[in-house]
């Protein structure tokens, strides 16, 4: 059984993809996971066997893949980290496609404490009662600044 802190980035990626595919389609198959991760189906099959042995998924050859309770907890946590970084990067006017790709790097490359603080910051800004007005003005000013204009 996998213990906290022993989960590799690769395992996290698989669990998050399985979770996202299941949310979208209602089930996940090897081919779906391979397509999402950009790997070959035999590579996915080997990882699915490992995740099944570790109690993170339920997997039967040629069948649908489902997450166990523990697998889903990890996947939700990884997805939450990922979405936090996407939101943060989009606040900084990073294009969505780039933000999604870079969020993946950040979600695996930072310490848990740094991730926790980024999460608190994004939640604080997003849940602020003045968020719509504040962000609209802030984005206007930031966009102008990025385009080389002086503060006005």
My answer on whether 40 and 14 are in the same domain is yes
My answer on whether 99 and 134 are in the same domain is yes
CA–CA separation, 115 and 120 (whole Å): 9
Q: Give the HSE-up count for residue 84: Cα atoms under 13 Å, Cβ half-sphere.
A: 22
Counted domains in the chain: 2
For the whole prediction, is pTM greater than 0.75? yes
Q: Confidence class of residue 62 from pLDDT cuts 50, 70 and 90?
A: confident
Q: Residue 52 sits in a domain of what CATH number?
A: 1.10.10.10
Residue 16 lies in a domain: yes
Cβ neighbours around 149 below 10 Å, total: 10
Residue 4 lies in a domain: no
Q: Confidence class of residue 49 from pLDDT cuts 50, 70 and 90?
A: very high
Which residue range is the domain that position 29 belongs to?
A: 9-74
My answer on whether 38 and 84 are in the same domain is no
Residue 59 lies in a domain: yes
Q: Confidence class of residue 23 from pLDDT cuts 50, 70 and 90?
A: very high
13-41: burial string, b at 16+ Cβ within 10 Å, e else: bbbbbbbbbbeeeeebbbebbbebbeeee
Given 27, 53, 74, which residue is the final one in a domain?
74
């Amino acid at each position: 059984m996998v213990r906290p802190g022993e989960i590799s980035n690769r395992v996290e990626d698989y669990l998050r993809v399985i979770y996202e595919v299941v949310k979208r389609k209602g089930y996940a198959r090897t081919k779906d996971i391979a397509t999402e991760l950009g790997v070959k189906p035999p590579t996915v099959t080997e990882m699915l066997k490992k995740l099944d042995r570790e109690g993170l998924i339920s997997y039967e050859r040629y069948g649908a893949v489902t997450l166990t309770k523990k697998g889903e907890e990890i996947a939700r946590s990884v997805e939450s980290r990922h979405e936090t970084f996407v939101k943060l990067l989009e606040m900084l006017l990073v294009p969505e496609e780039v933000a999604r790709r870079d969020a993946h790097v950040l979600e695996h490359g930072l310490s848990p404490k740094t991730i926790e603080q980024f999460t608190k910051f994004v939640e604080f800004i997003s849940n602020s009662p003045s968020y719509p007005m504040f962000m609209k003005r802030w984005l206007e000013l930031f966009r102008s600044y990025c385009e080389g204009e002086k503060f006005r």
